[in-house]
């Protein structure tokens, strides 16, 4: 593919339009170059569906290559516009922007979506109010834009016009106001813009190309086919403009609230001009054309200015003085800055309804917070892979310039909602999966069949490989294989191959895996009732071991070990009347004392196991042993698996720092004095390299370790976690475990952990198109070389973040492909390969990049990057680097994509407008900025936890969800609308729920109605509410039911059972709660959102100057 395409594209560039046209048309029709086209065709297949919905032909054109270009450009513009200004930015504008997008989409239908990437959507979305206005706005836009713009100019589009979108408006607004610090700012800005644009077009003249190329999203193009011709002409531009416009209007519209919206609108023209000269162009036209436009413009205009003024803070930055904290607060309206809630809401509203069809290259998926269905039509579902950007710079220079990290967050075994189908299992017979001869990429939808189907050309390395005879199939007239739809590996983005014996260790098919439960029976564990609890639970839990498909019983065998200073193995062979205990005290040189009878089938040995689990708590009831070992426990499990020649998982339940004499013995090295020193990193590093080596051995055997910790004091999670971490296991930590309050949480975690889907002995490799290369990996795994990610175990919650770097140029035509191949052993012992393919666009214009980014993913990457950084650098350095990188990203945007504006204006790309707030959350997180109550273990724990989080988890972890429970509609299933994480948004008459994936806080205001308290807590007054509640009482009234159902629903969404904490306002626990109100200034010195935004603005301006 890529090769062909490139060849083709080459020319196209020269003469974009013709080239494109030719391209597409022929491709569709029957272009010889066919190969590539054929593929497209394939894509088209799916695309069509999309397109169809898209009514306007105009779009199509845009969709076509050109269209893409154009749309993209539009989008970008919009996005760029959207970005906006800092303090000044009115929320409205931002919000306003989104609506347009959405609006646009509406009219255009799916097309719009497709074309415009998320970026647009998001932009649009922000404006909550949007919906109302949208329809109109969008409609007008579309029509208007389509026709007029088209004719007008493509160039324009690219440049500024489109961008003018909402965000721009906002930006402008902001800028205006801000800049205004000096009141006059706005006008000048506007002027400037105006000028800018005009100048731009010419200067950039070229611009159109960028736009054009950028867009060439396969998907779009595909869709475009018919319309493609038109596109060429100028259609592209229109769309772009459209897009741009859309945002704009929606903004206003969305904002429903007049004030906010207003500002944007006025800003609109202004801003657009300002930020993008181009926009200007269109806008004027539009302006006239759109009825709505005027409205927008005017209303917003006025309001914003005033507010903007407030943002004096901004000016101050200019002065290089940090704004006093208070000032900004006062002056910058918190509502005016980009709101995560708004963005999430908008995306949910705009994209939640339609299924996300993956046929199109480089599509930005809906946000993780949005519920959407995925239809796999050739690219992996975003549930499996999400990228920081869906449009990759063609060259490394560009990438460097933008500083936007290129990363994919991959969750290879992600759980799918029941409506979506699991990856199909493909069996290519004895010779194994068909692969490229050179790079060994697996057969996938992007492979190009040539020579009548006798050979295929690799889409990654271009090498031509013979099609094995048994796999041969004729091609149809479009160059597609006739069996295209019959073969998942040719038509889907995700599927599985059945691996042959060549893919197995020692060339032997693996045995079914085993679970070994290893229970600490030292004094603490016994006394707290933990041992009894675990034993009781295991009795029933063993019936729920993971099963493959519809198998009757699980193939997994189980074994039991208890330990304190020594290890006790149990022989639970079915033929025994009583289990036998074997003590191994040679902890220095661990081994497994028995083979037969240690790992058993649950059903066969049921009575013996039951007897054992009954006796364990009794046997150790009087223990006085307080010391424990740890490494030998893992070694024991490892040896057991080795002896049984299988992979498996160890569930270790551990309570204390292992100080008993044994390998891996640890000492208490907790030292809070190290915080904020150069030695702080040692707190995150393991004490000894012993565990690293052990982990390596575990990985080699496929021994995954899950660790449940119940510490009453420091137990060095940083060291204990090494093995679980590197083997792809999980750590669960229950500090100060109390049976009454924590057992439910622990048991839920345990149940889920035991039952969840898991693969063993896994190796993952990510292959990419020539030009980029996976260079860095984050997550819970071990790497013995630079390419293979090895995981002893990989469960459905584990995520690996992969960073890519350029090692060559990419081409816009062929885009960039990713293929993630995961070789693993299923829970029934079947060796399989799971393949995920994803195609991305490539761009030569930075604007395209910025328009197709996903901030949530970006934050996921940045957090992981930073969390790894603390291992080797002082925390402060890491924080500074983070800030610096983000400042550079934004500065680059400002410099290259946004239209010139006053330096006082903060302009954010639409797609990244939440970057500052989220980044601030990362910076304030416990790992990077610990408060006094955060223990060293907590930090290490969180550090490791975050490292394998997926995007949805990091999203809510860093920016917790805050729901006003009292606003919940007891009659519907829906959640109440979330609110921003700031104390000033809390009303003392309400009850709120805050969740971050680890905890759920229920915050009760002091003046909550007594009836509510009665209904929810079953007590008669505020003062009677107990802090110690770990669950909400079950009460038969609608409110209680509703709240509990909300809690249950949230619990269901998270991979871990969250700890529920009831916080009463003005109670001492409230301090803890406030820690999670991340938009506020934190007690530990973390900046408030507003302050941080100002700070970022300052940083950016420094960079720009």
**CB of 765: closest distance to other proteins in angstroms?**
36
**CB of 619: closest distance to other proteins in angstroms?**
7
Q: How many residues belong to the site for other proteins (CB under 8 A)?
A: 23
Tell which one of 619, 881, 975, 1029 touches other proteins (CB under 8 A).
Answer: 619
**d(C-alpha 1068, C-alpha 1055), whole Å:** 29
Tell which one of 591, 690, 714, 744 touches other proteins (CB under 8 A).
Answer: 591
Phi and psi at residue 734, to the nearest 5°: -125, 90
**d(C-alpha 36, C-alpha 641), whole Å:** 48
Does position 595 interact with other proteins (CB under 8 A)? The reply is: yes
Q: 171-192 b/e with 16+ CB inside 10 Å = b?
A: bbbbbbbbbbbeeebbebbbeb
**CB of 965: closest distance to other proteins in angstroms?**
51
Across 198-266, the runs of DSSP E, i.e. the strands, are none
Does position 586 interact with other proteins (CB under 8 A)? The reply is: yes
List the structure tokens of 3. Answer: 């090769």
Does position 615 interact with other proteins (CB under 8 A)? The reply is: yes
**d(C-alpha 845, C-alpha 851), whole Å:** 10
Site string for other proteins, 546-585 (x = CB under 8 A): --------------------x--x--------xxxxxxxx
Report the residue number, 570 or 893, with the smaller CB distance to other proteins.
570
Closest residue by Cα to residue 395 from 155, 213, 584, 657? 213
Report the residue number, 636 or 906, with the smaller CB distance to other proteins.
636
Contact 554, 601 (CB under 8 A): no
For the chain, counts of helices (H) and of strands (E): 52, 27
Tell which one of 427, 486, 589, 1066 touches other proteins (CB under 8 A).
Answer: 589
Report the residue number, 463 or 566, with the smaller CB distance to other proteins.
566
- Near other proteins in 7-66, by CB under 8 A: none
Block residue for tokens 């022929």? 26
Report the residue number, 584 or 863, with the smaller CB distance to other proteins.
584
**d(C-alpha 149, C-alpha 157), whole Å:** 8
Report the residue number, 596 or 1048, with the smaller CB distance to other proteins.
596
List the structure tokens of 248. Answer: 């704009």
**CB of 756: closest distance to other proteins in angstroms?**
32
Report the residue number, 399 or 644, with the smaller CB distance to other proteins.
644
Does position 735 interact with other proteins (CB under 8 A)? The reply is: no
**d(C-alpha 527, C-alpha 738), whole Å:** 11
Tell which one of 297, 597, 648, 728 touches other proteins (CB under 8 A).
Answer: 597
**CB of 618: closest distance to other proteins in angstroms?**
8
Phi and psi at residue 719, to the nearest 5°: -90, -45
Q: 843-859 b/e with 16+ CB inside 10 Å = b?
A: bbbbbbbbbbbbbbbbb
Does position 607 interact with other proteins (CB under 8 A)? The reply is: no
Q: Which stretch binds other proteins (CB under 8 A): 453-461, 546-554, 611-619, 1012-1020?
A: 611-619
Report the residue number, 206 or 621, with the smaller CB distance to other proteins.
621
Report the residue number, 640 or 774, with the smaller CB distance to other proteins.
640
Contact 453, 478 (CB under 8 A): no
**H or E stretch including 86?**
none
Site string for other proteins, 736-775 (x = CB under 8 A): ----------------------------------------
What does the angle CA 320 – CA 325 – CA 330 come to, to the nearest 5 degrees?
110
Site string for other proteins, 195-224 (x = CB under 8 A): ------------------------------
Helix segments in 45-97, DSSP class H: 46-51, 59-63, 65-67, 73-81, 91-96
Report the residue number, 562 or 687, with the smaller CB distance to other proteins.
562
- Near other proteins in 931-970, by CB under 8 A: none
**CB of 646: closest distance to other proteins in angstroms?**
15
Report the residue number, 463 or 582, with the smaller CB distance to other proteins.
582
Does position 1083 interact with other proteins (CB under 8 A)? The reply is: no
**CB of 750: closest distance to other proteins in angstroms?**
24
Strands 772-778 and 800-806: what pairing? Answer: antiparallel
**CB of 628: closest distance to other proteins in angstroms?**
15
Angle between helix 237-245 and helix 282-289 axes, rounded to 10 deg: 70
Does position 638 interact with other proteins (CB under 8 A)? The reply is: no
**CB of 617: closest distance to other proteins in angstroms?**
12
- Please provide the DSSP assignment of 844-877 as one string: SSHHHHHHTB-HHHHHHHHHHHHHHHTTTS-HHH
Report the residue number, 631 or 817, with the smaller CB distance to other proteins.
631
End-to-end CA distance of the chain: 43
List the structure tokens of 320. Answer: 């290089």
Report the residue number, 34 or 597, with the smaller CB distance to other proteins.
597
**CB of 660: closest distance to other proteins in angstroms?**
11
Q: Which stretch binds other proteins (CB under 8 A): 67-75, 140-148, 614-622, 933-941?
A: 614-622
**CB of 616: closest distance to other proteins in angstroms?**
9
Residue 1010 neighbours by CB distance under 10 Å: 12
Helix segments in 513-669, DSSP class H: 523-527, 530-541, 606-619, 631-644
Q: Which stretch binds other proteins (CB under 8 A): 196-204, 586-594, 925-933, 1054-1062?
A: 586-594
Report the residue number, 566 or 975, with the smaller CB distance to other proteins.
566
**d(C-alpha 496, C-alpha 488), whole Å:** 9
| CA gyration radius, the chain | 29
**CB of 625: closest distance to other proteins in angstroms?**
9
**d(C-alpha 138, C-alpha 350), whole Å:** 13
Report the residue number, 568 or 879, with the smaller CB distance to other proteins.
568
List the structure tokens of 271. Answer: 């801003």
**Which residues here bind other proteins, judged by CB under 8 A?**
566, 569, 578-586, 588-589, 591, 593-597, 612, 615, 618-619
């Amino acid at each position: 593919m890529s090769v062909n395409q490139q060849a083709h594209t080459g020319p196209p560039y020269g003469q974009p339009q013709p080239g494109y046209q030719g391209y597409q048309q022929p491709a569709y029709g029957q272009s010889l170059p066919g190969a590539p086209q054929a593929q497209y065709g394939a894509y088209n297949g799916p695309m069509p569906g999309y397109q169809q919905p898209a009514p306007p032909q105009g779009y199509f054109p845009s969709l076509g290559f050109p269209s893409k270009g154009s749309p993209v450009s539009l989008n970008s513009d919009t996005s760029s516009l959207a970005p906006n200004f800092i303090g000044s930015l009115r929320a409205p504008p931002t919000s306003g922007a989104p609506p347009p997008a959405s609006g646009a989409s509406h009219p255009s239908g799916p097309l719009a979506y497709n074309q415009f990437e998320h970026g647009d959507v998001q932009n649009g979305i922000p404006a909550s109010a949007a919906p109302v206005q949208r329809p109109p706005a969008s409609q007008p836009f579309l029509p208007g834009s389509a026709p007029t713009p088209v004719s007008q100019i493509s160039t324009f589009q690219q440049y500024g016009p489109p961008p003018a979108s909402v965000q721009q408006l906002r930006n402008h607004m902001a800028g205006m106001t801000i800049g205004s610090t000096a009141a006059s700012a706005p006008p000048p800005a506007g002027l400037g813009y105006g000028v800018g644009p005009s100048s731009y077009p010419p200067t950039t003249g070229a611009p159109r190309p960028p736009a054009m190329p950028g867009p060439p999203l396969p998907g779009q193009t595909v869709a475009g086919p018919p319309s493609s011709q038109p596109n060429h002409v100028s259609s592209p531009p229109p769309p772009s403009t459209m897009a741009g416009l859309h945002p704009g209007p929606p903004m206003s519209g969305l904002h429903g609230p007049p004030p906010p919206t207003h500002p944007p609108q006025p800003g609109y023209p202004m801003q657009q001009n300002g930020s993008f000269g181009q926009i200007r162009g269109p806008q004027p036209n539009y302006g006239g054309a759109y009825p709505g436009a005027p409205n927008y413009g005017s209303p917003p205009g006025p309001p914003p200015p005033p507010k903007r003024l407030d943002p004096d803070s901004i000016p101050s930055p200019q002065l290089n003085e940090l704004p006093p904290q208070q000032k900004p607060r006062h002056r910058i309206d918190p509502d005016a800055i980009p709101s995560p809630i708004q963005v999430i809401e908008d995306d949910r509203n705009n994209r939640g309804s339609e299924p996300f069809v993956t046929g199109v290259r480089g599509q930005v998926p809906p946000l993780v917070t949005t519920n959407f269905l995925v239809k796999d039509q050739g690219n992996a579902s975003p549930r499996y892979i999400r990228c920081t950007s869906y449009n990759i710079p063609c060259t490394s220079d560009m990438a460097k310039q933008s500083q936007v990290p290129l990363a994919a967050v991959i969750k290879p075994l992600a759980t799918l909602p029941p409506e979506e189908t699991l990856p199909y299992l493909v069996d290519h017979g004895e010779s194994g999966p068909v692969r490229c001869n050179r790079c060994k990429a697996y057969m996938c939808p992007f492979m190009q069949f040539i020579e009548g189907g006798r050979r295929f050309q690799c889409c990654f390395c271009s090498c031509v490989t013979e099609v094995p005879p048994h796999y041969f199939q004729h091609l149809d007239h479009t160059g597609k294989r006739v069996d295209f739809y019959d073969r998942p590996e040719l038509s889907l983005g995700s599927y599985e191959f059945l691996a042959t014996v060549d893919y197995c260790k020692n060339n032997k098919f693996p045995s079914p895996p085993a679970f070994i439960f290893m229970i600490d029976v030292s004094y603490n564990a016994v006394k707290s009732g933990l041992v009894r609890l675990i034993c009781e639970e295991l009795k029933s839990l063993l019936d729920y071991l993971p099963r493959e498909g519809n198998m009757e019983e699980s193939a997994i065998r189980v074994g039991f070990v208890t330990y304190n200073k020594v290890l006790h193995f149990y022989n639970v062979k079915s033929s025994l009347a009583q289990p036998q205990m074997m003590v191994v005290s040679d902890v220095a040189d661990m081994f497994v004392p028995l083979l037969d009878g240690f790992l058993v089938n649950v059903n066969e040995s049921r009575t013996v196991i039951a007897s054992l689990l009954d006796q364990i708590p009794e046997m150790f009831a009087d223990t006085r042993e307080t010391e424990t070992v740890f490494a030998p426990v893992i070694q024991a499990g490892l040896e057991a698996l080795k002896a049984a020649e299988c992979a498996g998982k160890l569930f270790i339940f551990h309570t204390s720092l292992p100080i008993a004499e044994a390998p891996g013995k640890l000492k208490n090295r907790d030292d809070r004095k190290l915080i904020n020193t150069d030695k702080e990193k040692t707190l995150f590093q393991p004490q000894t390299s012993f565990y690293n080596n052990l982990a390596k051995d575990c990985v080699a055997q496929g021994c995954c370790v899950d660790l449940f910790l119940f510490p009453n004091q420091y137990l060095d999670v940083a060291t204990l976690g090494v093995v679980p971490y590197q083997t792809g296991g999980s750590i669960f930590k229950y500090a100060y475990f109390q049976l009454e309050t924590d057992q439910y949480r622990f048991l839920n975690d345990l149940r889920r952990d035991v039952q969840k889907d898991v693969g063993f002995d896994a190796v993952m490799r990510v292959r990419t198109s020539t030009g980029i290369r996976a260079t860095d990996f984050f997550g819970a795994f071990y790497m013995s070389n630079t390419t293979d990610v090895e995981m002893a175990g990989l469960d459905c919650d584990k995520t690996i973040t992969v960073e890519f770097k350029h090692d060559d140029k990419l081409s816009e035509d062929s885009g960039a492909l990713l293929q993630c191949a995961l070789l693993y052993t299923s829970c029934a012992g079947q060796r399989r390969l799971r393949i995920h393919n994803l195609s991305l666009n490539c761009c030569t214009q930075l604007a395209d990049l910025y328009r197709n980014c996903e901030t949530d993913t970006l934050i996921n990457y940045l957090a992981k990057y930073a969390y790894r950084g603390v291992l080797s650098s002082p925390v402060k350095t890491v924080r500074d680097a983070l800030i610096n990188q983000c400042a550079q990203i934004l500065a680059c945007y400002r410099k290259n994509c946004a239209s010139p504006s006053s330096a006082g204006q903060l302009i954010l790309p639409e797609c990244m407008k939440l970057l500052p707030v989220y980044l601030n959350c990362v910076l304030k997180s416990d790992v990077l900025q610990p408060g006094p109550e955060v223990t060293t273990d907590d930090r290490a724990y969180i550090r490791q936890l975050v490292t394998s989080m997926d995007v949805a988890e990091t999203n809510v972890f860093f920016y917790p969800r805050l729901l006003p429970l009292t606003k919940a509609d007891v009659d519907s299933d829906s959640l109440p609308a979330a609110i921003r994480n700031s104390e000033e948004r809390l009303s003392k008459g309400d009850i709120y729920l805050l969740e971050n994936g680890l905890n759920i806080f229920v915050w009760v205001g002091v003046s909550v109605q007594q009836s509510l308290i009665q209904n929810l807590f079953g007590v008669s007054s505020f003062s009677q509410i107990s802090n110690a509640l770990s669950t909400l009482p079950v009460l038969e009234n609608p409110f209680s039911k509703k709240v509990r159902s909300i809690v249950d629903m949230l619990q269901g969404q998270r991979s871990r059972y969250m700890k529920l904490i009831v916080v009463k306002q003005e109670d001492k626990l409230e301090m803890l709660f406030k820690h999670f109100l991340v938009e506020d200034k934190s007690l530990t010195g973390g900046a408030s959102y507003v302050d941080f935004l100002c700070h970022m603005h300052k940083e950016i301006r420094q960079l720009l100057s």
